[in-house]
Amino acid sequence: MSVGQRRRAVLSSLIGNSIEFYEFLVYGSFSSLYFGKLFFPSFDPTTGTLLSLSTFAVAFVGRPLGAFFFGHFGDRIGRKKTLVTTLVVMGGATVLIGLLPTYRTIGVAAPILLTTLRFIQGCSLGGESSGGFLMALESAQPNRRGFLTGIVGTGNAWGLLLANGVLLLVTLLPDQQVLSWAWRLPFLFSAVLVGVALHVRLRLTETPEFAQSKAEGAVRTRPALDVVSRHGLITLSASLSLLPTFLVFYLGSVFSLKYGASIGVSRSVMLTLLVTACVFLIFAMPFFGRLGDRYNRKAVFVGGIAVMTLAPFAWFPLFDTRSFPLMALGFLLLFAGFAANYGAQGTYLPELFPTVLRYSGMSISYNVGGLLGGAVSPIIATALLSRYHTWTPIAIYMAAAGVIGLVASRFLREYAESAVPQRVVELVDLPIRATPAEITTARG
């Protein structure tokens, strides 16, 4: 693959990842601040917010299903075609959310349609997020994989930065105008973003590693099922190791808006804090990815979990000071562990699986982790805050997820495909009860 194609693969993955997270996170911000009034107005404010956040959680239910479905086709027909499809589906669902009539117009049908489109968003992200990493990883030189997938990983920071920048502009308007029409603008804007991403993505070629696997006839007929049946322990362990990653990201980016409002921090200050955190992540994730290239990728991955386990006990006290420099320090401490973990995982997680199962393996483990760690975390944190009126139970909840992640990471082992000839790998990976014909075919 030429240098130009490698750069295009990384750029395409970064842009696609950024847009997917923009569309996903702009929903999270608006569900926390406005959707309770727009789609659940017949409930008291707290209940309305919780119901609104529950529609945010619905997408996480869709993510493992999307991972299974799109992972199957990513390993069957190729990375490029699958990523084009996920981008179109995600963009279409987001634009339709911006066109939805509210509860006042069509009653209970409004939250039902909102939930349906949110579910579709989740299915799409379940296939997109992992595929973007694979496109960059399988196009990169071996000694630069961590660095380049770390750059792709900054897509969540760029997406969050863009989502909160748009939210900041929208909230400059009076609340009456935002609730009347301006809330639709960030969702409709995604149509422009998707057009730009498609222009870049359609010019890509397939990754060399998948093309080689296809040419050798190594592509599986049911890759997603093979991941679950043959690599179940690794998949489960990877999913559990990602619990703190999702808790920190979604509590830091979504729940923090609610918590900031509860202690009297203005919305503009909160958005500025999140922008500061995003800038930090954009530089930190490639750094940690490169660190994994040079030293030990798993050590960087696990070290990030350890930091995320302890960070909430500093983040909340610094948050409570309501001093901007101290709050910014708290956010940087919280996201430092996330940056290390996420900066390494774009290369570390795919290498837990053989090439022909990578898309399915990474997608399923990543998005099951998202379901367990991210789906209900803003709801649980909001409920704990409402009941106990203190941050301590929330910090304990985050730390418990970190402990689970540390224990699960002990079971992770990289798949040693590169250390043995491909034909040997295929023989070893045959079912235990392979027929003589299957063994003869694998031997070539």
Question: Which domains does the chain show, CATH number per domain?
Answer: 3-413 (1.20.1250.20)
What pLDDT does residue 2 have?
A: 64
- The model's confidence at residue 298, banded by pLDDT at 50, 70 and 90, is very high
Q: What is the dihedral of CA 226, 155, 208, 122, to 10 degrees?
A: 30
Looking at per-residue pLDDT, the higher value among 142 and 279 belongs to 279
Mean per-residue pLDDT for 99-127?
89
What pLDDT does residue 91 have?
A: 86
Burial class of residue 202 in the structure, from the number of CB atoms within 10 Å of its CB (0-12 exposed, 13-18 middle, 19+ buried): exposed
Max mean pLDDT among 149-163, 187-201, 312-326 falls in 312-326
pLDDT at 423 over 90: no
For residues 326 and 335, give the distance between their C-alpha atoms in angstroms, rounded to a whole number: 14
What pLDDT does residue 417 have?
A: 54
Rg of the Cα atoms in the chain: 22
pLDDT at 412 over 70: yes
* Residue among 239, 343, 266 nearest 299 (CA): 343
Max mean pLDDT among 178-187, 217-226, 301-310 falls in 301-310
What pLDDT does residue 419 have?
A: 40
Tokens of 419: 């250390």
Tokens of 138: 């399988």
Mean per-residue pLDDT for 188-203?
85
% pLDDT > 90, the chain:
30
Mean per-residue pLDDT for 74-92?
88
For residues 200 and 86, give the distance between their C-alpha atoms in angstroms, rounded to a whole number: 14
The amino acid at 212 = Q
% pLDDT > 70, the chain:
89
Tokens of 16: 């696609």
Which of these ranges, 65-74, 119-128, 329-338, 425-434, has the smallest mean pLDDT? Answer: 425-434
Mean per-residue pLDDT for 195-207?
82
The amino acid at 137 = L
For residues 336 and 328, give the distance between their C-alpha atoms in angstroms, rounded to a whole number: 12
The amino acid at 65 = L
For residues 8 and 12, give the distance between their C-alpha atoms in angstroms, rounded to a whole number: 6
Per the CB < 8 A criterion, the answer to whether 381 and 254 are in contact is no
For residues 379 and 49, give the distance between their C-alpha atoms in angstroms, rounded to a whole number: 9
Tokens of 314: 């500093």
Quickly count: other Cβ atoms within 10 Å of residue 100's Cβ. Answer: 18
Q: Classify each residue of 20-54 as buried b or exposed e, where b means 16 or more C-beta atoms within 10 Å of its C-beta.
A: bbbbbbbbbbbbbbbbbbbbbeeeeeeebbbbbbb
Burial class of residue 170 in the structure, from the number of CB atoms within 10 Å of its CB (0-12 exposed, 13-18 middle, 19+ buried): buried
For residues 204 and 202, give the distance between their C-alpha atoms in angstroms, rounded to a whole number: 6
* Residues contacting 306, CB < 8 A, separation 6+: 337, 402, 406
Tell me the CA distances in angstroms from 134 to 17, 145, 164, 318, 342, one per residue in order. 12, 10, 27, 37, 14
Looking at per-residue pLDDT, the higher value among 419 and 111 belongs to 111
Tokens of 364: 């399923």
Looking at per-residue pLDDT, the higher value among 406 and 164 belongs to 406
What pLDDT does residue 337 have?
A: 95
For residues 172 and 153, give the distance between their C-alpha atoms in angstroms, rounded to a whole number: 30
338-356 confidence digits (pLDDT tens): 999 999 998 999 889 988 8
pLDDT at 46 over 70: no
Phi first, then psi: give them for residue 100, nearest 5 degrees. Answer: -65, 140
For residues 393 and 387, give the distance between their C-alpha atoms in angstroms, rounded to a whole number: 10
173-195 confidence digits (pLDDT tens): 888 898 899 999 989 988 888 88
Tokens of 432: 């235990």
Mean per-residue pLDDT for 390-399?
94
Mean per-residue pLDDT for 303-327?
95
Q: Give the max Cα distance, the chain.
A: 73
Burial class of residue 15 in the structure, from the number of CB atoms within 10 Å of its CB (0-12 exposed, 13-18 middle, 19+ buried): buried
* Residues contacting 141, CB < 8 A, separation 6+: 6
Tokens of 311: 């960070």
pLDDT at 154 over 60: yes
Q: How far is CA 194 from the centre of its chain?
A: 18
What pLDDT does residue 285 have?
A: 94
Mean per-residue pLDDT for 373-385?
84
Phi first, then psi: give them for residue 220, nearest 5 degrees. Answer: -85, 155
